[in-house]
Amino acid sequence: MTDRQLRGAVAGGTLLILLATALAGCVHYRSPPEQALSEATRSARDKAERGRQVVEAALRSSEAEVPPAALELGRTGFEETVGSDGLSRVLESASRPDGSVQFDLAIVGGGETGGGLTYAATTVLLCARLTATPGRDARAAIADLPCPSGLTSKGGPLYGQVNQVVTLKG
């Protein structure tokens, strides 16, 4: 190998090491608490979508044609699936003048990561309003809803159980 080839190889190797080091700095390391928050948020969002699907299916039932029955079927469907965690719940439900029904939901998601010295866990709260018109072609829409402060304040049903409030998108 000539002197020129050797210098080229050293320069190329140095450049490769510098490039690899620079790219490694671009990778975002998520700490265990960040990973737990991400997992909890994903869990709450997945539960919200599952709740939307369950209520939509319940409202397609022929029994859901009258608003009181639609409200009961939607509430029961949600509580038996998403609400079975003992924390997620229907906050309010109402029929609207246009024939649609709405459900205000509080959905709790949890996430854990790591182990030993790096263990982290978190619980999040997502509040959403689900709106649908009962009938064979029922379609439910879900949107963010501000969470009532009474849920997580002292004396509230989720006091001390939720670390952060999250939204459907974000």
Distance CA 27, CA 29 (A): 6
Distance in angstroms (rounded) separating the CA atoms of residues 24 and 10: 21
Asked if 142 and 48 touch (Cβ cutoff 8 Å), the reply is yes
What is the predicted pLDDT for the residue at 117? 85
pLDDT at 10: 56
Residue range 42-67: mean pLDDT, rounded: 93
Residue 46 has pLDDT above 70, yes or no: yes
- What DSSP letter does each residue of 101-167 carry, written as one string? EEEEEEEEEEEEE--GGG-EEEEEEEEEEEEE--STT--EEEEE-PPPGGGTSTTSTTTTT-SEEE-
| CB-based contacts of 37, cutoff 8 Å, min separation 6 | 111, 122, 124, 163, 164
Tokens 């919200």 belong to which residue? 48
Quote the pTM value.
0.80
The pLDDT value recorded for residue 130 is 97
Is residue 109 very low, low, confident or very high in pLDDT (cuts 50, 70, 90)? very high
Torsion of CA 90, 96, 98, 104, to 10 degrees: -30
Q: What is the pLDDT of residue 79?
A: 94
Span 59-68, average pLDDT: 88
**Residue 7 pLDDT > 70:** no
Question: Mean pLDDT, to the nearest integer, of 115-132?
Answer: 94
Cα–Cα distance measured from residue 44 to residue 135, given in angstroms and rounded to the nearest whole number? 27
pLDDT at 170: 76
Length of the chain: 170
Q: Smallest Cα–Cα separation from 74: which of 140, 125, 147, 15?
A: 140
Crossing angle for the helix pair 32-59 and 67-80, to the nearest 10 degrees: 150
The mean per-residue pLDDT over the stretch 40-60 comes to: 96
Q: What is the largest CA-CA distance in the chain?
A: 90
